[in-house]
A and B are shown apart, each in its own frame.
Chain A
Amino acid sequence: MAVKMFDGNGAAVEAIRLARPGVIAAYPITPQSSIAEHLADCVAEGKIDAEYVRVESEHSAMSVSIGACLTGVRVATATASVGLALMHEVCGVTAGCRVPIVMPVVNRSLVAPWSLWCDHSDTMAERDTGWLQFYASTVQEILDLQLCAYRISEHEDVLTPSMVCFDGFYLSHSMQRVDTPSDEEAWDFVGPYVRKNMYLDPKDVMFINDLCPTVEHTEMKYQQKVGFDKAAGVAKDVFAEYEKRFGRKLSAVESYRLEDAEVAVVTIGSMSGTGKYVVNQLREKGIKAGLLRICMFRPFPAEEIREALQNVKVIGVMDRSSGLGAFQGPVCSEVKAALLGTSCQVYDFIGGIAGRDISDGSFRKIFGMLTDAAAGKELAGTTWFDVREDAMNLREVEMPC
């Protein structure tokens, strides 16, 4: 174990290097580009013994990764934003063919309008594609989650790919100290890639992904669902082993000062540290505030969330994507479903879109609304907490008539 300095993308590259992929196919996209570049450096300098396939698109990056992984080697790719959207079709193939690829996704807003900056609209759009999803809150956690994701995804009861999601620029370009296992320690934990169930081998013939008739299709999907069910338990075991080996605790959800909390926020990603800071401030003022951070979004840890939040009176869920057309944002909808039957009041807070900072001020404002609601004041089900007052005047065009 050594202390190293990495930005988020550097930590993702380090985790990939430690997992020793045999084929790498990545297409650069802001803010992921330095992953694609540094992986190329690693191959050129002999730090990773892999074939680097300089693909012409993200669609091909995932397609190459699928083909290569099915021959029996660990693969690496990474993407962000519209790159992930372009991959969408093939992400379903990865999941359905049970190809256990682990992919860092650097969260960035989806177009339109164009933005280079962070929100979760890209990975939330993929939440039902059949991939496990982990959201890191620190650079350290990117490395930790990714190493664990290989073990979880490749487990024979799971065989489901993973997205290790982390916030663009907030984490991808933020330099932090990272306790890093040695090559041997990491290899001892991750281990070599072993092909399971589906593979392409001329000596052991199978034809993968042919037309599946209706009489079998539901069952194939059910197998994937069972993979997700198993993933929850496998993740728990892998996190426990990781803690034992490397001393860092990982969990599907992280409870912060929730024991006696009356108001709480539910966070995901890099905003969580700021949320905890505000919780501490409020506690000093005598307000019983708490926070729940969701780290594993798929499979959705409904039981853990229910257990952690069921005695909290008023809850605000942070959604860093607009959830257009939905009654509430994707994180809130699911948290609410997990709390069905409890007396918790659950409100959605949408904001932090396209890089707008979720500051300590944002959390103080939200906690203010939550404590007001706890005191009986009416609060809307969904609040766009950082929208500008002149929103409807932007780009307003005067019609000639």
Chain B
Amino acid sequence: MLTYKVEPKGAVSPGISTCQGCMIDVIFRNALDVLGEDTVLVVPPGCAAQFSGCGPEASVTVAGIQGNLENSAAIASGIANGYKHQGNDHTTICVIAGDGGTVDIGLQSLSGAMERNENILYICYDNEAYMNTGVQGSSSTPLAASTTTTPAGKPVNSKDLFRICMAHNIPYAATASIANIPDFRRKVQKAKDIRGCRVIHIMSPCPTGWGYKSAKTVEVAREAINSGAWLLLEYENGRLTISKKPTALGQVESYVRMQKRFKGASDEAIAALSAHVCERYTYMEKLTQIMA
């Protein structure tokens, strides 16, 4: 039985101790607002674990469990099957996990859940490194970005979670950005109404790890979209759509110069990053034509 210390507006308690300028709490608030009370949340340890709370105090008003770093999708699968067996087809089982718990250590269990088409909604907030443990590189860290485990800049491009999701033929996958919350809410609503395994991959810039002033998070996220470093995509019923062509495709300079993590990046590295961004967009555009 839940008793309130502080009556929250919505499902997330006020005063969550995320870093200043972090938008993860906006992601949680909006996702849970759209999903409603009939939701069970699964979070791994990491930045998201702040929403599970500490000791006897929870930070959200929905039921949930903190699992291990790599098994969010498996725990969610178990919950979904338990409810299915008991005839509950209405509760949304929602994972909210970071890029580490999703594309690295958690990829195996997510792949299993996607292949089995488990009835879960998996939201990955991507801050492009292991931020909670002190900004170590992840497979979402982009080329040339410096982290505490890629101090000279990451020598390879990031892993493409969205293409991995498409390769599993799940009923719904989408990317989103904290720079466009209405779009994120629409995608969460759409995902809520679909049965089977649904994945939403949302970019969430991290002022602490990326090195920019905490007031600039939305601006940085917007610049990622403008340059094509982050694409807004939707994959539904086997069809891919790109919401709009980036206004300054491949022009990543202004995006990277906003962030200290690219400070040491050479012109060649930035050019390679730009080329990767353009190639990925071209590839996705061709896919939309093939799938049409």
Contact = CB atoms under 8 A, between A and B. Distances in A.
Interface of A: 22-23, 25, 50-51, 53-57, 59-60, 63-73, 75, 89-90, 93, 97, 200-202, 204-213, 215-216
Interface of B: 1-2, 37-42, 49, 52-56, 58-68, 70-71, 74-86, 88, 91, 108-109, 111-112, 115-116
Nearest to B73: A60
20 contacts: A25-B78, A25-B81, A51-B85, A53-B77, A53-B81, A56-B108, A59-B71, A64-B74, A67-B78, A67-B79, A68-B85, A71-B86, A89-B68, A200-B40, A206-B2, A207-B64, A208-B64, A210-B49, A210-B52, A210-B58
A385 B84 CA distance: 53
Nearest to A27: B112
B79 A22 contact: no
A54 B63 CA distance: 26
Contact of A205 (B62, B77, B83): B62
Contacts of A202: 37-40, 62-63, 91
Contacts of A216: 55-56
A386 to B, nearest CB: 39
A56 to B, nearest CB: 4
A71 B79 contact: yes
A68 B65 CA distance: 12
Q: Which 7 interchain pairs have the tightest Cβ spacing?
A: A67-B78, A71-B82, A56-B112, A63-B74, A64-B78, A60-B74, A68-B82
Contacts of B68: 63, 89-90, 93
Contacts of A55: 74, 77, 112
Say whether chain B's binding surface is mostly helix, strand, loop, or mixed: mixed
A63 B58 CA distance: 22
A211 to B, nearest CB: 5
B86 A200 contact: no
Contacts, number: 162
A210 B75 contact: no
Question: Interface centre among A67, A205, A208, by most B CB within 10 Å?
Answer: A67
A64 B84 CA distance: 13
Contact of B61 (A53, A59, A205, A211): A205
B52 A211 contact: yes
Contacts of A200: 40, 63-65, 79, 82
Question: Interface centre among B52, B58, B75, B78, by most A CB within 10 Å?
Answer: B78
A23 B78 CA distance: 8
B86 A210 contact: no
A213 B54 contact: yes
Contacts of B74: 55, 59-60, 63-64, 67
B52 A63 contact: no
Contacts of B38: 202
A63 B71 contact: yes
B78 A66 contact: yes
Given A210-B53, A211-B52, A60 B60 contact: no
Contact of A59 (B62, B70, B76): B70
B174 to A, nearest CB: 24
B77 to A, nearest CB: 5
Contacts of A54: 116
B81 A23 contact: yes
A57 B77 CA distance: 13
Contacts of B63: 200-202, 204-207
A280 to B, nearest CB: 49
Contacts of B37: 202
A23 to B, nearest CB: 5
Contact of A69 (B58, B64, B82): B82
Contacts of A56: 108-109, 111-112, 115
Given A60-B71, A209-B67, 11 more contacts: A59-B109, A67-B77, A68-B78, A68-B79, A72-B86, A73-B82, A73-B86, A200-B63, A202-B40, A204-B1, A207-B66
